[in-house]
Each structure stands twice: as structure tokens, then as C-alpha cells.
Amino acid sequence: MRKDSASQCDAVQSLASPWLFGREWLRDPLRVGAVAPSSARLADAMTQGMAANFGPVIELGPGTGVFTAALLRRGVSAAHVAVIEASESFAAALALRFPQVAVIHDDAARILHVTPFGLGAADLVICGLPLLSMPQAKVLRIVAGSMRVLKPDGELRLFTYGQRCPIPAAMLSRLGLVAQRRAFVPLNMPPASVYAVVRREQPI
């Protein structure tokens, strides 16, 4: 086996193990936000309703690719999925694991500038970022940018370990958005709630 091929195999294997996640958490726990990758149950809740004809989908902060894999299992075309990941290690491993998915190594707050689908084109933005640990100005850029890349009836879907939506009520009101809890996943570690954020005039 060629040395570069062996390195690629090693990278894919490390992505499937907890070691890459743990290493990134040790480097920057606030950016990673969780102490373990999201569970399969949370991935199912975050991708509920996805199907082969769905997309485009943009994922923010995919980490080890748990939600990305769930999207593809539900039949969403890899050509209709883009992920934006700030960690160089995560992004490199994701590109090897999902070669047909657009893996963008950048800050999620720059979603307007790096989306490959254009503005107003996406059906869904999935956010796996620890919004509660981020400065409010950055959260505003992420949420406002996400809504601009979504179709008028598109949805921003996110999860939190907290008791309420991680986007402050004042920010939702300012942007003309509403949030509704869609699912509670008690067997995730820690337990998590899934929220859908849509434009106020859109029924949820």
C-alpha cells in the first residue's frame, strides 16, 4: 500500500474513533462544546424528515460527521450536502470520509461567503455548534447568515443541552424568527433538545 493511501485510511479510522474528538476537545473545549460525539439517537432527531429529494443542506460544525452520516443514510444526495468546519483536523478527516460532500474549512460565521449553493437556496441548515459558549455577536452572524442562505420556508435546526433554545429570545425577535422544540433525546450524553428555527410568518 502506498504511504499516502495508508495515511488516508488511518485518518478515516481515527474519525470513527473517539480519539480524534478527544484530541480536539483537549485543544479547544469551548469550541468543541461537548465531551463526547453526538449519539445516533440525537442524529436521528436532527435529521428527522430528510429524504432522497431533500436539499441542499448545510451543516455547521459537523465535528466527526455523526449528523452528516445520518443525512446520507436517510437518502440525501451527497452532492446536496455541504459542511463548514473550523477545525483543520476535523475538516481533513471529513473530506476523506465523505469525498462527495463539499467540506469547507472555515468559520461558520462566514456561511454567507462560503456556501456553495448561493443565497436563498438551502432547505435546511443543521447547527452542531455550542452557541451558548459563543459571543452574542458571533451567534448573531451565524443565525442571520443561516437564514439568508435558506429558502423562504427553510429551517435552521439545532440542539442544546440547556433548558431553552440557545438563541436568545431578543435575538429571535430582532431577526423575525420563532423557535420550537421538536424533540428531546434523554439517552444522549448529556440529554439534548432539538429546536427548529424558522421565519415568524412560516407555520411550524
User: Which pLDDT value is given to residue 25?
Assistant: 45
User: Which pLDDT value is given to residue 20?
Assistant: 54
3-state secondary structure labels for all residues of 54-115? CCCEEEECCCCCHHHHHHHHCCCCHHHEEEEECCHHHHHHHHHHCCCCEEEECCHHHHHHHC
Judge contact between 129 and 60, C-beta under 8 A.
yes
Amino acid at 71: L
Amino acid at 21: F
Domains of the chain: 3-199 (3.40.50.150)
Q: Residue 66: CB partners within 8 Å, gap ≥ 6? A: 37, 38, 39, 40, 42, 43
For residue 170, the SS3 value is helix
Judge contact between 111 and 82, C-beta under 8 A.
no
CA-based angle 135:203:108, to the nearest 5? 25
User: Which pLDDT value is given to residue 23?
Assistant: 52
For residue 117, the SS3 value is coil
What's 39's DSSP letter? P
Encode the chain (204 residues) as per-residue pLDDT tens digits: 333 433 444 344 444 445 554 554 456 554 444 545 678 999 999 999 999 989 999 999 999 899 999 999 999 999 999 999 999 999 999 999 999 999 999 999 999 999 999 999 999 999 999 999 999 999 999 999 999 999 999 999 999 998 899 999 999 999 999 999 999 999 998 899 999 999 997 655
| CA end-to-end distance (rounded Å), the chain | 52
Omega of the bond leading into 190 within 30 degrees of 0 (cis): yes
Distance CA 56, CA 42 (A): 21
Give the position of cell 461537548.
34
For residue 25, the SS3 value is helix
Distances in Å between the Cα of 135 and the Cα atoms of 30, 75, 147 are 11, 35, 19
